[in-house]
Structure formats: C-alpha cells, structure tokens
Amino acid sequence: MLRVTIYRESEMNKVATRAVFGAVLLVCAFAVHSDDMASFATGGYATALRTMAVMHKMDMNHDHMVSRKEWIAFQNKVFTMIDKDKTGEVDESEYMRAYPDVAQFATGGYASGLLTREMFSKIDTDRDGKISRGEFLRYQLKIFDMMDTSRVHKGLLGPAEFFGSGGTPPP
C-alpha cells in the first residue's frame, strides 16, 4: 500500500513538473520573440524604432497602420540621407556622419539606435565594409517581417505589432 502511494505522488510530481515546464516555455516563447528583434537589430535600435513618433512618421496615410510599402518608403528616405555622396552604398564613416539628417527626419532616438558601429556591422551582411541600398532595405524588411505577427492584418503593422506590447507604446 505504501508503494502505491509513493508511486502516485511521484506521478503527480511528474505531471506538475511538466505543467510548470510547459508554462515556462510558453512565457519564454513570447519573451524570445520580442528579444529576437532586439538581438537581430540591437536593443537600442529595436527600442527606438518602436515608438509612437516613428510609427506616425512611417504612417503616411494616417490609418494607424504601417504597411510594407510605407515601411519601405521610410527606410528608402533614411538610406538616401545616409548616402550623402549618392553612390548607392555607404562606408562606416559616411554611415556614422548621418546623425543630424536622420534625427531630424525620424527621431533622435531612432538615429542614435541605428547609426552605431554595431548596427553597421549587422546590416553589412556581405562584410565588404559597405552597406548598399539593397542590403539596407533587405535588413529593414527582415525587421518588418519580425514585427508582422498579426494573422488578421498580414503585411500591416498596427500598434500591437509595431510596439510589440499589445498596442501600448513603450514608456
């Protein structure tokens, strides 16, 4: 009789452990998704990008959604500001000098988060020491795709997707 009781307690512990483990995995999955973008971009850029001010600048038709087309148009303008000599590619020096123009167009936080050596390295995917317009836009579209989590409005970022916080802008 004692052996049966111990066995049942052991089985109950296994079930409880599995339930707790499952809950932890679920919580971690949500945290990992939001951390994915921060590690892909950098924490500073991911945070500065996900602001009401930047969303409003991207939302050209003022529908409180950022479409893929609006995202690309915004990022194209940013690259044009970075590419001062209009060659279609920028080296690290040119990239780092773009702060005033990008800050004025987007926001200071956005410019500070984007225009870092770490972000330059992440965007320069072919490691040639230059970022082409194509590299820049492909990188930015990957970020859009990471943020585009809605099953209802695929291809559009509403506040919930843009802020990654259920629609509430981060503090």
Question: What's the CA gap between 169 and 100, in Å, rounded?
Answer: 25
Mean pLDDT in residue range 40-63? 88
- What distances in angstroms separate CA 79 from CA 10, 32, 49, 73, 75, one per listed residue? 61, 29, 15, 10, 6
Assigned domain for 106 exists: yes
> Residues 64, 144: one domain?
yes
With the C-alpha atoms ordered 36, 48, 53, 99, is the resulting torsion angle positive or negative?
Answer: negative
Q: What is the 3-state secondary structure (H, E, C) of 13-42?
A: HHHHHHHHHHHHHHHHHHHHHHHHHHHHCC
Task: Check pLDDT > 80 for residue 107.
Answer: yes
Instruction: State the maximum Cα–Cα separation within the chain, in Å, rounded to a whole number.
Output: 85
Mean pLDDT of 121-130: 96
Residues 45 and 119 in one domain: yes
Q: Which domain holds residue 86?
A: 41-163
Domain-located, residue 98: yes
**106 & 29 share domain:** no
Domain for residue 168, yes or no? Answer: no
Domain count, the chain: 2
Task: Report pLDDT for 11.
Answer: 59
- Could you tell me if 70 and 82 lie in one domain? yes
- Return the percentage of the chain with pLDDT > 90, whole number: 61
Among 44-53, 54-63, 90-99, 107-116, which is the least confidently predicted range?
44-53
The pLDDT of residue 60: 96
Q: What are phi and psi of 71, to 5 degrees?
A: -60, -50
Q: Give the Cα separation of 43 and 35 in Å (integer).
A: 8
pLDDT (0 to 100) of residue 121: 95
Residue 133 lies in a domain: yes
- Band of residue 163 on the pLDDT scale cut at 50, 70, 90: confident
pLDDT, residue 32, reads: 38
Stronger pLDDT, 117 or 19, i.e. the higher one: 117
Parallel, antiparallel, or unpaired for β 66-67 and 130-132? unpaired
List the single range of 37-41, 67-71, 136-140 with lowest mean pLDDT.
37-41
Nearest to 70 by CA among 152, 144, 163: 144
Q: What is the pTM of this model?
A: 0.74
Flag whether 170 is in a domain.
Answer: no
Do 59 and 5 have their domain in common? Answer: no
